[in-house]
Structure 1
């Protein structure tokens, strides 16, 4: 029923976190960057626990086991338990166990944490290629070198199954984006002509398993990387919140394919405390976005909120396929410059 004439439509101020009973957080670029927590991370997790919202940490980084992740989080003041952590190393070990018989030799290209997960799955981790190697598993590790890739190359060329914990090209750190596991995977792909089976994000099991462990009926994924966090959420049938503390940028958001588009957008994790209606991607009061043949024309209509503009831009870009932007006035131009969408 339409609102009575003269009355202002009610605004829903329900905070985003109240719409869900479980929140699944990515780690690198979302909760922390290297050794530093992102702004609002500690306070957000603490607030969710105080409101009895279940929290899980879902990471594509295979270099740390759940206990190491927990120690890292606790160093920031974020309380966590190993059972709340799901890693791509665990997912890779599960994939291997589903393909191989117990005791099969698996060549490890990655950290001791990955090796431990393979061993826990009833398989035999090795570091040298020989006729006995049934599979190669590859995860991020800062100590991986040419010799490790050479051993893997020999095994893959000999017909071994190849499983990658993830194919993230970069890893967000406090110093910026550095080479991730996907960059090392690309080297082996070029050397062998083979393609790995990917165990972690954007595949759905990492998310569905984490949500199930919390007993949640309505889970929200929070992440910084569209092609893994957001695409994985969509694959798992879950809503998602994209944050701008890691890899995703306004430009990549505008160009995101339908398989990697978040439902909500915020600057960082603290967006979970803002009204869901505000964080929702869609038309926003205060900004007018019109699609032309070759650009989205932006004009200000009383707002200076850059994030609200970006939410409105994403809505129109995704509907029309137009991603170039132009400003119709100085306030709009200033906002687009701040977003990195204009000079």
Structure 2
């Protein structure tokens, strides 16, 4: 077994948006990290909540970015939603599709009939991200759900990471219907539900998979629910302030600045486990605690400082009780936009 983090696992499952790419731009170092895993014969899977592309299209997109990928390695919430609909509905059943053409194609390939309007008498509505989704189809979906159609959402990610910053994701579009209908979807298919992760592990016959993501509320919570170790990379949606405030069901096993963390010793990325409150040094940083407060001193890799501070906040010290005892620590806390100490 290798002494680096990824060497302890027999499958690495990557989220895509915010981990491997941002919309259509590869994240620096992602292709190199994935190629390095492949050269070491580590099995790889990609699991994405984004329902706007089919597996074959995702694999082509990745390959065009220099990230080697096969369609069989890609699991999408669109494909998972279509499979679930096919399990629950009779063949040929009409399904109103809110989303991209990829979702319509998945529904069609599952033996169901994609439709667009209440007049088509849909027995289900399936809603996934699509950049062209507008009021007209949302209105038809609202009418169909009110008429008794079962409402499936591929995912509820509020935002989608991009080079320009977070953009509205499918969760924001789901919120439109939630507001109009005053209710939640009947079924949410993608992360944080564990299905995509468990399917990836089953397909690879993995006994010790690692999930890699950028969102605490989907990727990491999904991994926790699936009983898998996870790595949070800070290249997408969730940042240091989010990690410090994470509830127990959204706490990753590891944190790293980017995918290069897969090739560092596991101990350099590991986060405190529940009940583990004995951390006081990491890298060039030192943490001292006194009467419900925590003080960060020293300098070094920001990820090491973040790991130390998680040891404090995850055992009950408020983020507002964190102070700095060095100029480097003060700069870091300001950069992370943490609230001022009380």
Shared fold by TM > 0.5? Answer: yes
Contact kept? 1:289, 1:297, Cα under 8 Å: yes
1:3 match: none
Show CA shifts across 1:158-190 (max 9, x none): 111000000000000122110000000000000
- 1:266 lines up with 2:263 in the alignment: no
Give distance in 2, aligned partners of 1:147 and 1:141: 14
Tell me by how many angstroms 1:98 deviates. 2.6
1:224 match: 214
1:326 match: 323
- 1:137 lines up with 2:137 in the alignment: no
1:232-311 matches, within 5 Å, as 232-282=222-272, 283=279, 284-285=281-282, 286-292=284-290, 295-300=293-298, 303-311=299-307
Q: What is the total number of aligned residue pairs between the two structures?
A: 330
Tell me by how many angstroms 1:288 deviates. 2.6
2:44 match: 55
1:215 match: 205
1:23 match: 12
Match of 2:73 among 81, 84, 96: 84
- 1:202 lines up with 2:200 in the alignment: no
1:178-189 matches, within 5 Å, as 178-189=167-178
Tell me by how many angstroms 1:131 deviates. 6.1
Give secondary structure in 2 for the equivalent of 1:289.
strand
Contact kept? 1:107, 1:137, Cα under 8 Å: yes
Contact kept? 1:105, 1:135, Cα under 8 Å: yes
Give distance in 2, aligned partners of 1:132 and 1:293: 63
TM-score by length of 1: 0.92
Give distance in 1, aligned partners of 2:161 and 2:87: 31
Show CA shifts across 1:52-73 (max 9, x none): 0001000000000011101110
Give secondary structure in 1 for the equivalent of 2:319.
coil
RMSD: 1.7
Q: Name stretches of at least 5 consecutive residues in structure 2 with no aligned partner.
A: 273-278
1:133-172 matches, within 5 Å, as 133-172=122-161
1:9 match: none
Where relative contact order (Cα < 8 A, 6+ residues apart) is larger, the structure is 1
Tell me by how many angstroms 1:341 deviates. 3.0
Tell me by how many angstroms 1:295 deviates. 4.1
Tell me by how many angstroms 1:294 deviates. 5.8
Give secondary structure in 1 for the equivalent of 2:227.
coil
Give secondary structure in 2 for the equivalent of 1:118.
helix
Give distance in 2, aligned partners of 1:65 and 1:115: 10
2:310 match: 314
Tell me by how many angstroms 1:292 deviates. 4.8
Give distance in 1, aligned partners of 2:9 and 2:205: 12
1:118 match: 107
Contact kept? 1:306, 1:339, Cα under 8 Å: no
2:333 match: 336
